Structure 1
Amino acid sequence: MRRIWSALAVTALVAAAAGCSGDDGGGGSGGGGSVPGVTATDILVGTHMPLTGPAAAGYSKIAPATKAYFDYVNASGGVHGRKITYKIMDDTYNPATTQQVVRELVLQDKVFAILNGLGTPTHTGVLDFLKTNRVPDLFVASGSRSWDQPDKYPGTFGFNVDYTVEGKILATHVKTTMAGKKVCFLGQDDDFGRDALAGIEKILGPVAAKQSYVTSNPNVGPQMGALKQAGCQVVMLATVPGFTALSLGTAAKIAFKPQFVVSQVGADLGTLTKQLGAAAPLTEGLISDNYLPLSNDEANPWIQLYKKVNAAHNGNAEFDNNIVYGMSVGYLFVQSLQAAGKDLTREGLISAIEKNGFQGPGLAPLRFSADDHSGYGGMQLSRVEGGKQTYFGQPFETDEGDGPVSAYTTPPAAPPANGIPAAS
Structure 2
Amino acid sequence: MNTGRKLAITFAAIAAMGLAAGTALADKMYGPGVTDTSIKIGNTMPYSGPAAAYGAIGKSIEAYFKKINKENGGVNGRLIEFITLDDGYSPPKTKEQVRKLVEQDEVLLIFQSLGTPSNSAIHAYMNQKKIPQLFVATGATKWGDPENFPWTMGWQPSYQTEGQLFGTYVMQNVENPKIAILYQNDDYGKDYVKGMKDVLGDKAKDLIVAEESYEVTDPTINSQIIKLKDSGANVFFNVATPKFAAQAIKKVRELNWDPVFLNNSVSNSVGAVYEPAGLENSKGIISLQYFMDITDPSVFDTEPYKKWKAFMDEYYPDGDKSSSFTAYGYLVAQTMEQVLKQCGDDLTRENVMKQAANLDLELDMMLPGIKIQTSPTDYFPIEAMMPIAFDGEKFVPVGEVVSVN
Q: TM-score range by the shorter chain?
A: 0.7 to 0.9
| 1:28–1:342 Cα contact (<8 Å) kept | no
In the alignment, what sits opposite 2:366?
362
1:348 to 345, 351, 356: 351
Q: CA deviation at 1:367?
A: 3.9
Measure, in 2, the Cα distance between the counterparts of 1:36 and 1:81: 17
Q: CA deviation at 1:181?
A: 2.6
Measure, in 2, the Cα distance between the counterparts of 1:387 and 1:28: 56
- Residue 206 of structure 2 is aligned to residue 202 of structure 1: no
1:63 to 47, 58, 66: 58
Q: CA deviation at 1:128?
A: 1.2
Q: CA deviation at 1:99?
A: 0.5
Residues 137-152 of structure 1 aligned to structure 2 (within 5 Å) = 137-152=133-148
Q: CA deviation at 1:155?
A: 1.3
SS in structure 1 at match of 2:346: coil
Question: Structure 1 residues 334 and 96, CA, compared in 2 at 3 Å: closer, same or farther?
Answer: same
Letter of the structure 2 residue corresponding to residue 292 of structure 1: F
Q: CA deviation at 1:252?
A: 2.4
In the alignment, what sits opposite 1:414?
none
Letter of the structure 1 residue corresponding to residue 329 of structure 2: G
| 2:238–2:263 Cα contact (<8 Å) kept | yes
| 2:293–2:394 Cα contact (<8 Å) kept | no
Q: Which has the larger radius of gyration?
A: 2
In the alignment, what sits opposite 2:304?
302
Letter of the structure 2 residue corresponding to residue 224 of structure 1: I
**CA distances 1:252-298 after superposition (whole Å, capped 9, x unpaired):** 2333222210110012122113422xx33110111101111111232
Measure, in 1, the Cα distance between the counterparts of 2:348 and 2:302: 35
Letter of the structure 2 residue corresponding to residue 393 of structure 1: G
Letter of the structure 2 residue corresponding to residue 308 of structure 1: A
In the alignment, what sits opposite 1:410?
none
Residues 87-106 of structure 1 aligned to structure 2 (within 5 Å) = 87-106=83-102
Question: Structure 1 residues 27 and 244, CA, compared in 2 at 3 Å: closer, same or farther?
Answer: farther
- Residue 47 of structure 2 is aligned to residue 51 of structure 1: yes
SS in structure 1 at match of 2:360: coil
In the alignment, what sits opposite 1:385?
391
Q: CA deviation at 1:177?
A: 1.1
**CA distances 1:341-366 after superposition (whole Å, capped 9, x unpaired):** 12322111211122222222433243
Unpaired runs of 5+ residues, structure 1, are 1-25, 400-424
| 2:358–2:373 Cα contact (<8 Å) kept | no
Letter of the structure 2 residue corresponding to residue 62 of structure 1: I
More helix by share: 2
Residues 76-225 of structure 1 aligned to structure 2 (within 5 Å) = 76-204=72-200, 205-206=203-204, 207-225=208-226
Measure, in 2, the Cα distance between the counterparts of 1:228 and 1:350: 46
More deviation, 291-300/65-74 = 291-300
Give the TM-score normalised by structure 2: 0.87
In the alignment, what sits opposite 2:20?
none
| 1:124–1:146 Cα contact (<8 Å) kept | no
Q: CA RMSD in A?
A: 1.8
1:328 to 321, 326, 331: 331
Letter of the structure 2 residue corresponding to residue 362 of structure 1: M
| 1:378–1:395 Cα contact (<8 Å) kept | yes
**CA distances 1:21-79 after superposition (whole Å, capped 9, x unpaired):** xxxxx959759xx521101000110111110110112x110011111111111112111
In the alignment, what sits opposite 2:67?
72
- Residue 294 of structure 2 is aligned to residue 291 of structure 1: no
| 1:272–1:280 Cα contact (<8 Å) kept | no
- Residue 381 of structure 2 is aligned to residue 375 of structure 1: yes
SS in structure 1 at match of 2:389: strand
Give the TM-score normalised by structure 1: 0.83
Letter of the structure 2 residue corresponding to residue 345 of structure 1: T
Q: CA deviation at 1:389?
A: 2.2
| 1:284–1:386 Cα contact (<8 Å) kept | yes
Runs of 4+ in 1 over 4 A off after TM superposition: 26-31
Unpaired runs of 5+ residues, structure 2, are 1-23
Measure, in 2, the Cα distance between the counterparts of 1:318 and 1:28: 45
Measure, in 2, the Cα distance between the counterparts of 1:155 and 1:71: 26
Question: Structure 1 residues 224 and 337, CA, compared in 2 at 3 Å: closer, same or farther?
Answer: same
Measure, in 2, the Cα distance between the counterparts of 1:156 and 1:56: 24
SS in structure 1 at match of 2:77: coil
**CA distances 1:138-177 after superposition (whole Å, capped 9, x unpaired):** 1010000111111121111110100111111122111111
Measure, in 2, the Cα distance between the counterparts of 1:101 and 1:29: 33
- Residue 271 of structure 2 is aligned to residue 270 of structure 1: yes
Question: Structure 1 residues 240 and 151, CA, compared in 2 at 3 Å: closer, same or farther?
Answer: same
Question: Structure 1 residues 365 and 398, CA, compared in 2 at 3 Å: closer, same or farther?
Answer: farther
Q: CA deviation at 1:109?
A: 0.3
Identity of aligned residues (%): 29
In the alignment, what sits opposite 2:18?
none
Measure, in 1, the Cα distance between the counterparts of 2:109 and 2:331: 17
| 2:181–2:212 Cα contact (<8 Å) kept | yes
